[in-house]
Amino acid sequence: MTDAIRIRPERPDHPQVQSMLAALDIYLASLYEPEANHILDVQALLQPEIDFLVAAQGGDLLGCGAMRRMPGEPETAGQPYGEIKRMFVRPEQRGQRLAEQILRTLEARLLAGGIALALLETGRDQTEAVRLYQRRGYQTRGPFGGYDNNGLSLFLEKRLVP
């Protein structure tokens, strides 16, 4: 019998997580110049305002995602929000809706913490990611959090409801 896939917290400095983040960084570098990649490194992901989750099956980590709790700012009319970051599923594990499960769990954690707005920045050329976010109800919005409207980024938001 195969172990069930579980979405659970994990430390971003776990060796398998570091391997996934390295693969994600290589992928992003193949699409965009370095200044267009807004990557949180492992040290940033270890900060207390970050929740970092993995999709795990037995001892194998199949995918990951994070959210950063942020205070309100003018671009959110003062409303606190959670920023979705570092979403990745190993290529050989894609097609199982793991990213959707990770994203759903991140959203639930935001709601449980009293945050009803999820925002993210993704690249326009990451078509699979954009489709995922659209399927999950994310809609286009303007820049936030100090991001520049560089023509490569898409800014998305979702109002979370219990």
pLDDT digits (tens, 9 = 90+) for 58-92: 999 999 999 999 999 999 999 999 999 999 999 99
**Residue 3 binned pLDDT confidence (cut-offs 50, 70, 90):** confident
Mean pLDDT for 128-152 is 93
Residue 2, pLDDT score: 67
On the CB side of 45, how many CA atoms lie within 13 Å of its CA? Answer: 23
User: Which residue is associated with the tokens 């639930």?
Assistant: 108
Q: What residue ranges define each of the domains in the chain, with the CATH number in brackets? A: 5-159 (3.40.630.30)
Mean pLDDT for 106-114 is 97
Indicate the pTM of the whole model: 0.92
